[in-house]
């Protein structure tokens, strides 16, 4: 099969394929060489999405009882930290473990069908799961369910074709995965020592939101499983810095939700979180005052329109409303409001109330939710009425540094 493309925002983007697809293809090649004793330069594999891929085999090594093959990861036009990495599979007749007890303790996976018994483990660069809430059990190698099924299926197919009965041991490794893991969310999610072998469709969709949303969901799930009833949400790095330096809270209590405010609320409900405190920069959260639940600039803006509308409702002159509408940044608009006594406080009070109203509307009574709006230059611009109480609960759960007095909606310090 040739390259596959998708059009997004009028751009032609190339699909890639996952580490799971690479591992399955490398396992297929290694099994063919081991059982048929013939060289393989390319294999064809059908992904769960139904797309056929012809993948080149690299760095093949063969001995009497084992074969190792590699496939190079291609992320298409949405490359991640694993793009270009070689994903290896070593298929062996030799049992690397002393006995059944050591096999179980190793964290490997097993597949048995009749007289065929396959074992799957991770080698260099494959992480181990250390926290609950992931799709792999604690102590197991981070090889997700769909890639596991793909690997077992490809090796079983060759075994059936060649009439092989007995046991084979499959080891997946990504030598560059140890270093690459430090540039992923893995450590925070509870995967230590390497990367995960991922994929549900076998393909990497360019500019896909799915992977990011799944990461957010996993973090929420783990917070709930660890007994954290209240979770801090921050859209980005500004929020993370602010909660630590200005509010004395712990980053371990926070989940970074990016632009997906509404989707994160929904997922928090589904994962059993009891309360959310959204702490975000005004440049993001002012959009929520207009009911915008995905704050990415490609989806919606409306920040200046919100500020201008509330300034007009407060009673400021038309000329200032026009200047607010033409402001380039939120800070520029706030500076213009400083010129009228009481305007900024009055507008931010109404904005915060609107944000609070829309957040609670999305939550629909299913979860407690409060908000804090800030800017780097001015600190807190607004807090919903229940935010101080939720902050108190969060501080009871974790040690914190002292901070100044916090007042409800619209006040600054």
**Pair (338, 237) in one structural domain:** yes
Position 41 confidence tier, pLDDT thresholds 50, 70, 90:
very high
Domains held by the chain: number: 2
**Pair (45, 187) in one structural domain:** yes
**Pair (200, 223) in one structural domain:** no
Q: What's residue 404's pLDDT? A: 32
**Domain limit, last residue, from 204, 226, 252:** 204
pLDDT in tens, 262-304: 999 999 999 999 999 999 999 999 999 999 999 987 788 999 9
Say if residue 410's pLDDT is above 50: no
CATH code of the domain in which 142 resides: 3.30.2110.10
Domain that includes residue 373, residue range: 210-397
Across residues 132-140, what is the average pLDDT? 88
- Residue 94 has which token pair? 């030799």
Q: Which residues contact 133 (CB under 8 A, 6 or more apart)?
A: 190, 218, 221, 222, 224, 225
Q: Is residue 258 part of a domain?
A: yes
Please name the residue that has the structure tokens 């893991």. 181
**Domain limit, last residue, from 204, 233, 253:** 204
Helix (H) or strand (E) holding 216: helix 210-225
Across residues 91-110, what is the average pLDDT? 81
For the purposes of burial, counting CB atoms within 10 Å of the CB of 155, is it exposed (0-12), middle (13-18) or buried (19 or more)?
A: buried
Tell me if 121 sits within 8 A of 173, measured CB to CB: no
Q: How far apart are CA 243 and CA 401, in angstroms?
A: 11
Least confident of 20-24, 135-139, 344-348, 380-384: 135-139
First to last CA, the chain: 62
Q: How far apart are CA 344 and CA 381, in angstroms?
A: 9
- Residue 280 has which token pair? 């975000």
Q: What's residue 6's pLDDT? A: 59
**Pair (94, 237) in one structural domain:** no
Tell me if 122 sits within 8 A of 174, measured CB to CB: no
In whole angstroms, how far apart are CA 97 and each of 30, 143, 296? Answer: 20, 19, 50
**Pair (196, 284) in one structural domain:** no
**Pair (153, 247) in one structural domain:** no
Q: How far apart are CA 324 and CA 305, in angstroms?
A: 8
**Pair (181, 235) in one structural domain:** no
Q: Is residue 407 part of a domain?
A: no
Percent of the chain whose pLDDT exceeds 70:
91
Say if residue 3's pLDDT is above 70: no
Position 207 confidence tier, pLDDT thresholds 50, 70, 90:
low
Pairing of strands 116-122, 109-113: antiparallel
Across residues 212-230, what is the average pLDDT? 91
Longest dimension (CA), the chain: 86
Q: Is residue 405 part of a domain?
A: no
Across residues 316-338, what is the average pLDDT? 93
Q: Could you tell me the pTM of the whole model?
A: 0.69
Q: How far apart are CA 117 and CA 168, in angstroms?
A: 7
Position 405 confidence tier, pLDDT thresholds 50, 70, 90:
very low
Q: How far apart are CA 214 and CA 390, in angstroms?
A: 26
Q: What is the DSSP letter of 137?
A: -
**Pair (231, 150) in one structural domain:** no
In whole angstroms, how far apart are CA 122 and each of 37, 66, 74, 143, 333? Answer: 25, 16, 21, 8, 54
Q: Is residue 403 part of a domain?
A: no
Pairing of strands 66-72, 109-113: unpaired
| CA–CA–CA angle 320, 325, 327 (5° rounding) | 90
In whole angstroms, how far apart are CA 363 and each of 301, 326, 337, 357? Answer: 22, 33, 32, 10
**Pair (159, 246) in one structural domain:** no
**Pair (137, 169) in one structural domain:** yes
**Pair (232, 378) in one structural domain:** yes
Q: How far apart are CA 99 and CA 221, in angstroms?
A: 35
**Domain limit, last residue, from 150, 178, 204:** 204
Q: Is residue 413 part of a domain?
A: no
Q: What's residue 297's pLDDT? A: 78
Least confident of 36-45, 99-108, 396-405: 396-405
Q: How far apart are CA 114 and CA 190, in angstroms?
A: 35
**Pair (135, 236) in one structural domain:** no
């Amino acid at each position: 099969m040739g390259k596959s493309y998708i059009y997004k925002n009028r751009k032609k983007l190339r699909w890639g394929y996952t580490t799971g697809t690479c591992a399955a293809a490398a396992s297929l090649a290694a099994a063919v060489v081991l059982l048929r004793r013939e060289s393989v330069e390319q294999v064809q594999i059908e992904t769960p999405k139904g797309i056929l891929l012809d993948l080149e085999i690299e760095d093949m090594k063969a001995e009497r009882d084992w074969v190792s093959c590699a496939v190079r990861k291609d992320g298409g036009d949405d490359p991640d930290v694993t793009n270009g990495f070689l994903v290896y599979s070593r298929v062996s007749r030799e049992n690397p473990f002393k006995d059944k007890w050591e096999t179980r303790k190793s964290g490997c996976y097993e597949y048995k069908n009749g007289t065929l018994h396959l074992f799957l483990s991770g080698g260099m660069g494959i992480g181990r799961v250390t926290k609950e809430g992931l799709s792999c059990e604690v102590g197991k190698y981070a090889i997700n369910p769909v890639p596991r099924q793909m690997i077992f299926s490809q090796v079983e197919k060759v075994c059936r074709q060649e009439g092989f009965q007995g046991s084979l041991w499959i080891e997946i490794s990504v030598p560059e995965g140890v270093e690459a893991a430090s540039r992923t969310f893995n450590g925070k999610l509870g995967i230590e020592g390497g990367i995960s072998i991922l994929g549900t469709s076998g393909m990497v969709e360019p500019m896909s939101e799915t992977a990011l949303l799944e990461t957010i969901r996993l973090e929420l799930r783990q917070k709930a499983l660890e007994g954290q009833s209240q979770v801090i949400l921050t859209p980005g790095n500004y929020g993370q810095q602010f909660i630590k330096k200005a509010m004395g809270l712990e980053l371990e209590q926070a989940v970074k939700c990016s632009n997906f405010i509404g989707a994160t609320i929904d997922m928090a409900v589904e994962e059993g979180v009891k309360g959310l405190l959204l702490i975000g920069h005004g440049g993001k959260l002012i959009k929520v005052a207009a009911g915008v639940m995905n704050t990415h600039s490609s989806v919606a803006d409306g920040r200046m329109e919100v500020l201008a509308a509330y300034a007009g409702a407060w009673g400021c002159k038309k000329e200032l409303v026009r200047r607010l509408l033409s402001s380039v940044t939120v800070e520029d608009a706030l500076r213009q409001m400083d010129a009228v006594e009481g305007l900024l406080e009055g507008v931010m009070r109404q904005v915060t109330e609107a944000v609070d109203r829309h957040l609670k509307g999305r939550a629909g009574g299913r979860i407690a939710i409060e908000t804090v709006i800030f800017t780097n230059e001015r600190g807190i611009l607004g807090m919903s009425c229940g935010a101080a109480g939720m902050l108190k609960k969060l501080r009871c759960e974790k040690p914190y540094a002292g901070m100044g007095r916090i007042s409800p909606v619209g006040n600054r310090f």
